[in-house]
Structure 1
Amino acid sequence: MHARFSAVTKAYDVRGTTPDQLDASLALAFGRAYAREVGVAGGGGAVVVGHDMRDTSPELAGAIADGVRAEGGDVVMVGFASTDMLYAASGRLDLPGVMVTASHNPAGYNGFKVCRAGARPIGFDTGLSAIAEVASELLDEPAPEPRGTLTERDFLSEYADLVVGLAPVSGRRLTVAVDAGNGMAGHTARAVLDQLDVDVLPLYFELDGTFPNHEANPLDASTLVDLQAAVREHGADLGLAFDGDADRCFVVDERGEPVSPSAITALIGARYLAAQPGATILHNAICSKAVPEIVAERGGTAVRTPVGHSLIKAEMARTGAVFGGEHSGHFYFRDFYLADSGMLAALHVMGALAESDRPVSALMAEFERYAASGEVNSTVADASAVIEELAQAYADHPQDRLDGLTVTGPDWWFNVRASNTEPLLRLNVEGDDEQVMARVRDEALAVIGK
C-alpha cells in the first residue's frame, strides 16, 4: 500500500488532514478503486455521493465522483448530507455510497465513509484495505476521461419522511433545543423537526466547517455548555447535540444534565421490545450493565458486541437484532438498513417524552442505575503491554477479551481498549455507586500510570 494511503486508511473509514494527507488526487484514485470494488466499473451501475460542510468537502466529493465516472460508473450526487442521510440514500436507492466527512474531527481534517448497496458497511477487512491497495497503484496513473453520467438529486425531503415515518412523535407539544455545532444537523434537523409538533430552539444551524462556536463533538462535555445554558434559560423539555456529520446524537435533560448514551440505548431498546416482544437488542462492550438487565427484564435477548459500526452492523445482520446502541452515541436500527442515525435516536427519545407526562430526568431515571466514569484516556507507549499488566493485576477476577480487556468484580466492572488512531488507552469504569466506581477507576489508572 502506498504510504499516502496507509497513513489515512483506518479501521472503518479514510481520514486525515487536508490538503497534506487528503487531496483531490488521492480522492480521484480512491473513487476509481471504489468503483471497481463495488462493481460499478465498466458501466455496472451507479454510486451515490454526499458530503459535509467542510471547506474541502465539495472538491473531494467531486474528485471521487470523477474517479467513479472515469471507470465507467454513474454517480448520483446528493450534495450536502449527514452521514445517516447518505446511508438512507444508499438504502432507499439500493446503491453503494460514499460520504465525504471527518465527523467530529477538527476543521483541518476530512475523510471518506463508504458502504455497499443497501448501506452495507465496508471496513478495513471487508473491502477498505483492498480499495486502498488498488488506489495506491492508480495514484500516479492519469485517469481516463469520465465516461459515466453525473446526476444531481435532492434527497433531504425523502430522508426526513423516512426517519419520521420510522419513529413518529405524538402526544404533548415539546420545546426542544438543538445544537447542530455548525455541522450537518443544521441542514437536516429543520427538515425533520418541521414535520413534528415541537418548538425548536436552534443553536449554530449555520453550516460552517471551521466550527466557529465549538467543535462538533458532543463526547467532549465542554461542547455541551451552550446547549445546557439554552435548555435552562428557555425551560426546554430537552436538548439535542449532534456531531459534525450528525450520525451521533447526545441528549441533555430539562435541568441541562447530560443523559448517558447507555440509558438512551436502554430506553430505545425498551420501546422496541414493547412493540416487538422477545426481540434481540445489541449493546457494545462499554455500555452500562443496566442495558442487558433492562432488556432481560422486558423479555428481550441482549447481545454484547465489540465497539465499531462495521462489527455491530454485521452482528445485527447475523442475530436479526432490531436495534443496537453504543456508549459513544451511535445507535443502529434494523429498519434503517442496519445503519446508525443520530436523528432517528433523537426521534425515539422525543416520542417517549411526548407520550409521557414526566420530565426527561424522571423518564430516564429507571434506565440510569449505576455510576460511570466516562471514558478516561491515557497516553501510553505500548497499549498491548499495559493491557497485559492490567490482566495480571486483576488475574483473580473474571475477564474477557471481546473488545480490549473487560474485568468484572462483585459490584463493578471496567473495560480498557487501545485507540485505533492514537497512542491512547481508553478506560471505562462502572460501579454500583460513585464511591465504588472512583476506587476502581483510581486503582486501574495507577496500574496504567506505571
Structure 2
Amino acid sequence: MRESRGTAERIVGPNGIRGRVPDELDAGGAYRTGAAFALLTGAPVIAVAHDLRGSSPALADAFAQGVLDQGADALDAGPGPADCLTYLSGYLDVPGALVTAGHGPGAPHGIRLCRAGAVPVTEGTGLEAIRERLAGPRPALTDQPGSVVRAPVLDDYARHLRSLVDLSGIRRVRVVVDAGHGIAALTAPRALHHPAVELVPVRFGPGNDRAGQAGWDLGERVRRSGADLGLAFDTGADRCRAVDERGAAISPAAVVALVAARELARRPGAAVVHDLITSRAAIEAVEEAGGIPLRSRVGRSAIRSLMAEQGAAFGAAASGRYYFRDFWCADSAMLAALHLVAELGETGRRLSELVAGHDRYPRSGEIGVRVEDPMAALHRVATYFAATDAELDRLDGVTGEFGDGSWFNVRAARSAHLVRIHVEAEAPAAMEALRDRVLSVVTASAPAR
C-alpha cells in the first residue's frame, strides 16, 4: 500500500479495510494496519485469522508482525471463517482481525476488525483512527516486541456451535455440502460431526474460487444422492444457500421462519431483528411464533447493534445472513445450517414440507440502477410516492408500504452513482407493476399518476 492519504481513504470503508492486492493493499499496508490496530486497542493480545485465498496467509502474517512490533502478542488462529474469529474474540475476550477476500480472481481483499467480545470496529468506533494512522508516518517500533502464540481453534469453534444446537436424538440426515473450494471444507466436517449426520462433500479440495462456482449443481447432487438437504457455502463460509430434498432452492425468508421459531421456542416472546428488505413472509412467521419483529437498517453493524440494544433472540438479513444472541449477536452461516439439520432430524418431515408457505410473496430481488445523483433519485422517489397512498419512511433510503401489503425500498449504494431497489407484492403482476413504477421514477421518467 502506498503511504498516502488518498490510498487510506480508498481502502478504509465504513466496516473495514478493503483493497485490491497488491495495488491498494499489500504486506506493507497489512503491517501498518496491524500496528494501527494494536495502538487503537492497547490490548496485550490480538487474535489473527485468515481465509484460504492464496495471498491471505502472507497478509495475515504481515498484520501480525505489525501487532508484534507494537508490543502486543499475536494469537495466530490460522485458517478460519469470520464466525470462527467471532468465537475466538468472544470466548477469549480479545480483539481480533480476519484477513479475507471476495470471490473471483483479482477480487478485493479485506481485513475485518473487532474489539474484545467480538464487537465490530466500524466508522465511528475506531476505523477513522485506523485511517488517520495509515495516512500518517510509519509507526515507531517498541523496545519490547510481542510473541506469536499458535492457537488453531477450528475444533473448539465447531464444538461451541454444536453446544448451541441440540442434535441429540435426531433421525439420520444426509446432507450434501458444497464448500466451493473454500473454508467450509475445514469447518463443515467439524461442525456437522454427529453419528446421525451423513455428510456428502462437494468441492472440498483446493481449486479456483471464481464467483458463482459453489452450488451451481447442488440440486442435482442432492437428488442423485437421495439427500435430505443441500448446503452451498461461499468461499469464506459467510453465507450459505440451501436446497430441499427435491433440489428446490430454499429462500432466506423460509430459513428465517424455521430458525426464528426454534430460537423463540427457547425464548418465548423475544424480539427478532430483521433488515427492512426482509420478506413480509418471514416477518409474519416471526409473529406467528410469538416473536416481536423489529426493523433495522441494512448491514451487519445495524442489525447487531439493535439486537444487543433490545436483547433480541435472533436477527436476519434478506441477503441470507443469520444472527444469534447466543453467538455474541454475530452472524454464522454454519450455525444456521446446524439449525436446519436439527429441524429435519427432530421433526422427521421433509424440508419441502417444513418450508411450504414461507416464500409466498413475489420479490424483485435486488436491482442495481446507475444514476448520476443517488440522493436526487431518492428525493424523486419520496416526492412522487408522497402524493400516492404509500406510507413512507426514511429509516434506510426510502421505503414505501401500501395497504395491500406491497412495498418497495430504494437505497443509495456505497458505490458512487448507484441505487439499489427491492420490491415485493402479493402477486407477480402487482410486483412487476410496482417495480416498473419505481424504476421509472428512479430514472427520472416517471409516468403520469
TM class by shorter-chain length?
A: over 0.9
* TM-score, structure 1 normalization: 0.93
Q: How do 1:294-443 residues align onto structure 2 when only pairs under 5 Å count? A: 294-395=285-386, 396=388, 397-411=390-404, 412-421=406-415, 423-443=417-437
**1:233/1:446 Cα in 2 relative to 1: closer, same or farther (>3 Å)?**
farther
Partners of 1:427 and 1:238 lie apart in 2 by: 31
- Contact between 1:11 and 1:420, CA under 8 Å: does it hold in 2? no
Q: How do 1:103-252 residues align onto structure 2 when only pairs under 5 Å count? A: 103-104=102-103, 106-138=105-137, 140=138, 143=141, 147-169=145-167, 170-195=169-194, 197-208=196-207, 210-211=208-209, 214-215=210-211, 224-252=215-243
- What percentage of aligned pairs have identical amino acids? 41
- Structure 1 residues 89-128: Cα deviation after superposition (integer angstroms, max 9, x where no partner): 1111111010000244654421101100111111112111
Within the candidate set 245, 263, 283, 2:254 is matched to: 263
Task: Classify the secondary structure of the residue corresponding to 1:410.
Answer: coil
Shift of 1:232: 2.5
Q: Residue 12 of structure 1 corresponds to which residue in structure 2?
A: 15
Amino acid paired to 1:124: E
Shift of 1:313: 1.3
- Contact between 1:46 and 1:74, CA under 8 Å: does it hold in 2? yes
- Contact between 2:21 and 2:106, CA under 8 Å: does it hold in 1? no
- Structure 1 residues 343-385: Cα deviation after superposition (integer angstroms, max 9, x where no partner): 0011111111212232212101142231112112222222111
- Structure 1 residues 134-154: Cα deviation after superposition (integer angstroms, max 9, x where no partner): 22214x456557700101111
Partners of 1:408 and 1:180 lie apart in 2 by: 39
Partners of 1:403 and 1:106 lie apart in 2 by: 32
Partners of 2:329 and 2:195 lie apart in 1 by: 24
Partners of 1:443 and 1:410 lie apart in 2 by: 17
Amino acid paired to 1:436: A
* TM-score, structure 2 normalization: 0.93
Q: How do 1:34-113 residues align onto structure 2 when only pairs under 5 Å count? A: 34-40=37-43, 45-104=44-103, 106-113=105-112
Amino acid paired to 1:387: L
Within the candidate set 255, 272, 277, 1:281 is matched to: 272
Number of residue pairs the alignment of both structures matches: 437
- Structure 1 residues 141-181: Cα deviation after superposition (integer angstroms, max 9, x where no partner): 56557700101111011001000110133422111111111
**1:108/1:370 Cα in 2 relative to 1: closer, same or farther (>3 Å)?**
closer
Partners of 1:142 and 1:120 lie apart in 2 by: 27
Task: Classify the secondary structure of the residue corresponding to 1:372.
Answer: coil
Amino acid paired to 1:374: G
Amino acid paired to 1:38: T
The answer to whether 1:28 aligns with 2:28 is: no
Partners of 2:107 and 2:364 lie apart in 1 by: 30
Partners of 2:223 and 2:420 lie apart in 1 by: 32
Partners of 2:368 and 2:5 lie apart in 1 by: 31
Q: Residue 439 of structure 2 corresponds to which residue in structure 1?
A: 445
Partners of 2:192 and 2:359 lie apart in 1 by: 27
Partners of 1:105 and 1:382 lie apart in 2 by: 30
Task: Classify the secondary structure of the residue corresponding to 1:188.
Answer: helix
Amino acid paired to 1:36: L
- Contact between 2:181 and 2:205, CA under 8 Å: does it hold in 1? yes
Task: Classify the secondary structure of the residue corresponding to 2:400.
Answer: strand
Unaligned runs of 5+ in 2: 445-449
Task: Classify the secondary structure of the residue corresponding to 2:216.
Answer: helix
- Contact between 1:10 and 1:421, CA under 8 Å: does it hold in 2? no
73-82 or 431-440, which moves further after superposition? 431-440
Shift of 1:28: 0.9
- Contact between 1:376 and 1:427, CA under 8 Å: does it hold in 2? yes
Amino acid paired to 1:151: V
- Structure 1 residues 6-46: Cα deviation after superposition (integer angstroms, max 9, x where no partner): 11112212112100011011111111110111122xxxx10
Partners of 1:65 and 1:284 lie apart in 2 by: 35
Structure with bigger RCO (C-alpha 8 Å, 6+ apart): 1
Shift of 1:187: 1.4
Shift of 1:133: 1.1
